[in-house]
Amino acid sequence: MCEAMTKKGIRCRRTNIIGQTRCRQHFKAEGVCSICFEQGVNRELKCGHWFHRECFEKWEKKLEDREVTCPLCRRVEKKSDHLQEMLREEQVDEEAVLRVLQQLFPFPSAMLEQLSHYLIHQIRE
């Protein structure tokens, strides 16, 4: 069990990190990277979790072309740049972009067609 106290002064009931005396939540509060467990974090993600910039960049490289997610909660930090690269090289046509958008977003087809056209136009300029 985590040895930290909650804001209400009650002992935390979360499971501690293996080999540590705190849970992940309290490591974050103390400025400790949840990847390497060292202090001095300097990168906050959209979800609010903190890491060393270098640790997060290593995590990002391991994901290769997949979406970049938080190592803790798996919230998407940013989408893959793979589609953008393919569009720049003109390896993908507008219909292929539309199919990808339809898989990613639950919007009406007319809206996605406009978005597809706009994206291709913006990226290829």
| pLDDT tens-place string over residues 74-88 | 888 765 555 556 656
Q: Which carries the bigger pLDDT value, residue 20 or residue 108?
A: 108
Give me the residue label for tokens 């938080």: 70
Mean pLDDT of all residues belonging to the chain: 76
pLDDT of residue 65: 63
| Burial zone of 25 (CB within 10 Å; 0-12 exposed, 13-18 middle, 19+ buried) | middle
Q: In sequence order, what are the residues at sequence separation of 6 or more whose Cβ sits closer than 8 angstroms to the Cβ of residue 69?
A: 63, 75, 76, 77
pLDDT of residue 18: 67
Average pLDDT over residues 102-106: 78
pLDDT of residue 124: 64
